[in-house]
Amino acid sequence: MKYLILRLLVALLTFSAGLGLDRFLTSRPNQLQRATPNVSYEPIAAEAAIAAPMPVSPPKPTLIFDYDLEKFDPQAHYAFTGKSPKGLSRDDSFFIKIWHMDETSHDSVWFSVWDERGNTDLWASFALVTERRLFFVTQPTDEGFVYRFDGGFLRRGYIFDSAEGEVVLKGTLTKSKNNRTVVEWPVRFKVIHQGC
């Protein structure tokens, strides 16, 4: 019995010495950095948190405004005008809004589609606005459609001051899905004043 206890004691000491030596000889791993937890203290309904998908904010758009604001100002609401192109119903309509004040403002180029399903508002993910040209690409719709407009201004100066019904912008509007063109329309736009 003494031999059994003595053997267990020697085995336990040998194991402890080996474990201690292993820890001593093995290099310590780098300290892990803890991430700052992102906690919201706003109460939300449990049902809404479970049912609603987490919103994904779209990437910041690239908007390039390259003109002299003292000589040219395209800031206006533009409405599709003229004969409906092939593939559009009589009630379909397009609107463009350009908003640019200065480098500190929240600039935007906005495109709105009115069709049989109602109104779809789309922000431009990329836009180039010069004194002569307007080019933009919208963010995708819920169905995955992307609209692209490439056209030119037909008037200089302050576009908003144009006469009612005057065509001030024309170009080609393209509707695509998965980088494939679905339809392409030649379109013209006039400025609408909306009571301003």
For residue 88, tell me if it sits in a domain: yes
For residue 31, tell me if it sits in a domain: no
22 token code pair? 């292993």
For residue 103, tell me if it sits in a domain: yes
Model confidence at 196: pLDDT above 60: no
Number of domains in the chain: 1
**What is the domain-level CATH number for residue 175?**
2.40.128
Instruction: State residue 137's pLDDT score.
Output: 93
Region 109-121: mean pLDDT is: 76
Residue whose tokens read 């037909």:
154
Closest alpha carbon to 60 in 111, 129, 106: 106
| pLDDT band of 193, cuts 50, 70, 90 | confident
d(CA 158, CA 15): 88
For residue 16, tell me if it sits in a domain: no
Pairwise pLDDT comparison (45 vs 112), residue with the higher score: 112
Helices (H) and strands (E) in the chain, counts: 2, 9
Model confidence at 181: pLDDT above 70: yes
d(CA 181, CA 119): 22
d(CA 192, CA 162): 9
d(CA 141, CA 188): 23
For residue 19, tell me if it sits in a domain: no
Model confidence at 162: pLDDT above 80: yes
* pLDDT, tens only, 21-58: 676 666 555 555 555 555 555 555 545 444 545 445 55
Query: For 177, how many CA atoms within 13 A lie in the half-sphere containing its CB?
Result: 7
Full-prediction pTM beyond 0.75?
no
User: What range does the domain containing 166 cover?
Assistant: 62-192
In contact, 122 and 110? CB cutoff 8 Å: yes
* pLDDT, tens only, 78-103: 888 887 777 666 666 788 888 776 66
For residue 127, tell me if it sits in a domain: yes
| pLDDT band of 148, cuts 50, 70, 90 | very high
The one-letter code for the residue type at 183 is V
For residue 98, tell me if it sits in a domain: yes
For residue 36, tell me if it sits in a domain: no
Secondary structure of residue 93 in the 3-state scheme: strand
